[in-house]
Amino acid sequence: MDTHGAPSEGVVLQHREASDADLHASNLTNWSQQYDQVSQGEFSGHIVELPFEQLQVFREDTSQALQQKCLVWPDSIWLGIPLADQQNCRINGLEVDSTAFMCKPGDHDFQLSTPEQYSLYGMVVQRDALQAMADIHGYELADVWQEGPGRHQIPEKVLNDARYILARMLNDQDERGRNRLSREVLMLTVLELLKEEQPAPSDTPSFQHRKQVVDTVQGLIASQPDRAFTVTELCEQANVSSRTLQYSFQSILGISPIRYLRVSRLNGVRRALLQAPEGSSVADIATQWGFWHLSQFAKDYKLQFGELPSETIHTRRLLNQRLGQW
């Protein structure tokens, strides 16, 4: 399977287990690896992986101490994030604790020495895709993917935020799989880990330009109401940076583009619920408007309108009954 060319819609978790260290090494998609078991005892390894388009995300758990020779797929950048509160590992001889992450470019081999009962989050992203995302969202990237030691210290809060996001993405609770929105969150997580500094704000765009940006985005959203657009896609369609998109929406509509996306879709669902024929289900209508996480949708809907979607349908039925009596 070509991980960096895999579809990003409906991506599902892939679990692989092995009782041999070298077999476990081969279970990670598109890596070239050789694992030697150092500590004594039975080996168990587990990999849970998400193969997005131009992005691979995984968690690796190993029971025994290992010496690992690793090589990532070409034109990529690998980030390794140790889970907190475990023994330190080493990359090319450098000790890595829970306040650091590792980063190496594709096509450059490296060696990891990992202790017993070790867990690691991994992210591999295609370089051009990452740079394109950085340009859109106004990130200035540090050159950490160039050939070097591979160990990088950053504020622990940034690492913990990344761990939290990865833990959520790599659990089994969402049976519907991950999608473009999940990929967007993960790509932005990579940028947060690699960013050097934010560039200075650009000149304020004119009113006409801001209005044109908002009109373009509104038209795009209205033309595809069932599509859950990402900010990156909106920026690409409007040919602006995320900073300009944000400023345009705030100055023209008084809300952020993310808020506008959610509010417009929630209102679309409400109109559909009020107009739907008898027997229509909330789940079907919600998914038609791009809401796949139904429990979260119900919470957002009630917060927005003060009632659950099912209560909206009930209200519609009562109104229809009264109209029929008249």
Q: What CATH number is given to the structural domain containing 159?
A: 2.60.120.10
pLDDT tens digit sequence for 101-152 = 999 988 888 888 899 999 999 999 999 999 999 989 888 876 655 666 788 8
pLDDT for position 171: 86
3-state secondary structure (DSSP) of residue 185: helix
Residue among 107, 133, 252, 143 nearest 191 (CA)? 133
pLDDT for position 9: 53
Q: Specify the pTM.
A: 0.70
Query: Which domain range does residue 219 map to?
Result: 207-321
User: Is residue 308 included in any domain, yes or no?
Assistant: yes
pLDDT for position 2: 44
Q: What CATH number is given to the structural domain containing 291?
A: 1.10.10.60
Residue among 260, 261, 274, 285 nearest 307 (CA)? 274
User: Is residue 41 included in any domain, yes or no?
Assistant: yes
Mean pLDDT, residues 181-203: 75
Domain count, the chain: 2
User: Is residue 309 included in any domain, yes or no?
Assistant: yes
pLDDT tens digit sequence for 48-74 = 999 898 999 999 999 999 989 999 988
User: Is residue 276 included in any domain, yes or no?
Assistant: yes
pLDDT tens digit sequence for 12-38 = 889 999 998 888 999 998 999 989 888
pLDDT category at 216 given cuts 50, 70, 90 is very high
Quick check: 191 and 137 in contact, CB under 8 A? yes
Which of 168, 196, 224 represents a domain boundary (last residue)? 196
Residue among 163, 72, 196 nearest 124 (CA)? 72
Per DSSP, what are the bridge partners of residue 111?
Answer: 69
Q: Whole-angstrom Cα distance, residue 296 to residue 294?
A: 5
